[in-house]
């Protein structure tokens, strides 16, 4: 009997190479401006075109400014965005240009337009492609040379990963979100705990999550070293996808759903590894170090040296030195300089609803710089349609334009050296948000509570 991953993988095998990789058919290739230029150059050098341009979608997101989008001041970023537009025009690829109603972060736009569908194989030259697995697909980040492979042949050579199932059973406590679940799993398993595996998330707590929550959980799979993270499609998935722009319509929709209902792990399917956690044990969380697995409960304390294995103590102290923290320190109440709501992790409408639920009737703390960045033009329109923009404005916050923004220092939204940013993004690496910047990862609720108090705050206490 088969796991969900096995079912999708086996359905896409073109041929197997003895003692080598599998040639896998790819349903959807996403391209952005950073990793695709060299791939298109490979096609030019070989004198070939894109094999199936209708299955490729491109948009800029990493370099796009979020204050105004009529120009890009940085010449490198501007060249990358302009090159993507030229490549799409030359090779006949659908291009969602900066500043249009279709643009946004590629991992937000794909699911919300139903370009990512259950049972698909999806790739992109970006590690957080795992996000799309939340709809019940195999979604993987790939390298530039592999992007060229897919452009040229609509296939890719891949070694099949092992399978792991992570079960979250029970009911999440109030104030605990999918982001907290992901940070909890990483702290328990470490950032290499799923290396070499494709992870399926299951259990009653996962089933109870909205699609936005599932997309957040799958997004962070790569931070555990996983090759992919997927969730079996169900009625929540179908309700989310129905009537979206590129979803099947009419009778085709009903036929598609009938097929999608078959996408689950068989009851007696065997995984190479299986792990179960109790939802009730997961509280709102924050990170304290320079990898997403270095995390604690928001009201907890950084581990002491005695809690850390001797071989890991030097690295542990290096992290704390960079973050300007100390062993055993309680971070709740620590002043923050910046807050960031957005990224492909938490830039969806549900995240803005959560943020607004905390700041409504309150005011942004003086001196805290805030960047509230929707993950797409559609999310931004939803924010305005629901009046969330007015709540944010009354609380002293400004709604910005879509883009990757302060998730990574490739656009103007950079955190200055030494400043502490509490962020809904996915990585807290050294320099990730700007040279010398210090990053604490958290959920939209924790970021909102911290933004109105000016210090790291447990949202349950507001």
Structure confidence by residue, pLDDT tens digits, 4-59: 999 999 999 999 988 889 999 999 999 999 999 999 999 999 999 999 999 999 99
Q: What H or E segment, with its residue span, contains residue 452? A: helix 444-453
Q: What is the pLDDT of residues 96-121, one digit of tens each?
A: 999 999 999 999 999 999 999 999 99
Do the beta carbons of residue 357 and residue 321 sit within 8 Å? no
> What does the DSSP assignment read for 385-415?
HTTHHHHHHHTT--B--SS-GGGSSSSS--P
Residue 385 in any domain: the answer is yes
Backbone CA torsion sign across 78, 79, 84, 88: positive
* Structural domain includes residue 93: yes
Same domain for 229 and 89, yes or no, is yes
Asked if residue 279 belongs to a domain, the reply is no
Let me know whether 226 and 375 are in one domain.
Answer: no
User: 155: domain CATH number?
Assistant: 3.30.499.10
Cα→Cα distances 365→166, 249, 358, 362, 420, Å = 39, 47, 13, 9, 15
Range of the domain at 191: 4-274
Whether residue 280 lies inside any domain: the answer is no
Question: From CA 434, how far away is CA 230, in angstroms rounded?
Answer: 31
**Helix, strand or coil, per DSSP, at residue 435:** coil
- Does 243 share its domain with 319? no
Length of the chain equals: 462
Task: Determine the average pLDDT of the residues in 275-285.
Answer: 98
Q: Report yes or no on 373 lying in a domain.
A: yes
Same domain, 290 and 270: no
Per-residue pLDDT at 201 = 98
Same domain, 146 and 33: yes
Indicate whether 196 and 306 sit together in one domain.
Answer: no
Q: What is the pTM of this model?
A: 0.98
Identify which of 415, 422, 409 has the alpha carbon closest to the alpha carbon of residue 437. 415
Domain count of the fold of the chain: 2
Query: What's the pLDDT tens digit per position in 413-462?
Result: 999 999 999 999 999 999 999 999 999 999 999 999 999 999 999 999 99
Given 252, 274, 296, the domain boundary residue is 274
Show which of 274, 305, 333 is a domain's final residue.
274
Boundary residue ending a domain (254, 274, 294): 274
């Amino acid at each position: 009997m088969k796991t969900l991953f096995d079912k999708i993988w086996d359905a896409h095998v073109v041929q197997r190479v003895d003692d080598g990789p599998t040639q896998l058919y790819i349903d959807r290739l996403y391209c952005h401006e950073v990793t695709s230029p060299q791939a298109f150059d490979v096609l030019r050098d070989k004198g070939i075109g894109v094999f199936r341009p209708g299955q490729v979608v491109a948009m800029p997101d990493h370099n796009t400014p979020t204050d105004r989008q009529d120009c890009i001041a940085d010449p490198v970023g501007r060249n990358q965005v302009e090159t993507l537009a030229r490549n799409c025009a030359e090779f006949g690829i659908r291009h969602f240009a900066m500043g249009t109603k279709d643009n946004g972060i590629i991992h937000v736009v794909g699911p919300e337009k139903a370009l990512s569908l259950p049972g698909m194989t999806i790739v992109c030259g970006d590690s957080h492609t795992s996000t799309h697995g939340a709809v019940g697909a195999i979604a993987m980040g790939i390298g530039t040379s592999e992007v060229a492979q897919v452009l040229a042949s609509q296939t890719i050579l891949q070694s099949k990963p092992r399978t792991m199932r992570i079960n979250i059973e029970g009911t999440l406590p109030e104030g605990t979100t999918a982001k907290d679940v992901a940070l909890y799993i990483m702290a328990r398993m470490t950032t290499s705990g799923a290396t070499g595996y494709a992870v399926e998330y299951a259990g009653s707590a996962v089933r109870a999550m909205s699609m936005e929550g599932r997309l957040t959980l799958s997004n962070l799979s790569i931070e555990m070293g996983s090759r992919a993270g997927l969730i079996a499609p169900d009625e929540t998935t179908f309700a989310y996808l129905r009537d979206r722009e590129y979803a099947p319509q009419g009778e085709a929709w009903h036929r598609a759903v009938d097929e999608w209902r078959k996408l689950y792990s068989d009851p007696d399917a065997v995984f190479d590894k299986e792990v179960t956690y109790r939802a009730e044990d997961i509280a709102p969380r924050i990170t304290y170090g320079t990898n997403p697995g270095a995390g604690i409960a928001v009201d907890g304390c950084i581990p002491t040296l005695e809690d850390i294995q001797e071989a890991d103590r030097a690295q542990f102290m290096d992290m704390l030195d960079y973050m300007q923290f100390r062993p055993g320190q309680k971070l709740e109440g620590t002043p923050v300089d910046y807050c960031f709501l957005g990224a492909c992790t938490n830039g969806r409408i549900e995240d803005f609803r959560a943020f607004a639920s905390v700041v409504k009737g309150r005011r942004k703390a003086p001196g805290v710089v805030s960047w509230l960045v929707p993950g797409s033009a559609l999310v931004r329109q939803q924010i305005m349609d629901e009046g969330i923009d007015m709540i944010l404005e009354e609380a002293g916050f400004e709604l910005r334009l879509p883009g990757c923004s302060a998730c990574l220092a490739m656009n103007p939204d950079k955190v200055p050296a030494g400043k502490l940013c509490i962020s809904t993004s996915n990585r807290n690496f050294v320099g990730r948000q700007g040279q010398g910047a210090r990053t604490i990862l958290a959920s939209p609720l924790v970021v909102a509570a911290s933004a109105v108090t000016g210090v790291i705050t447990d949202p349950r206490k507001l």
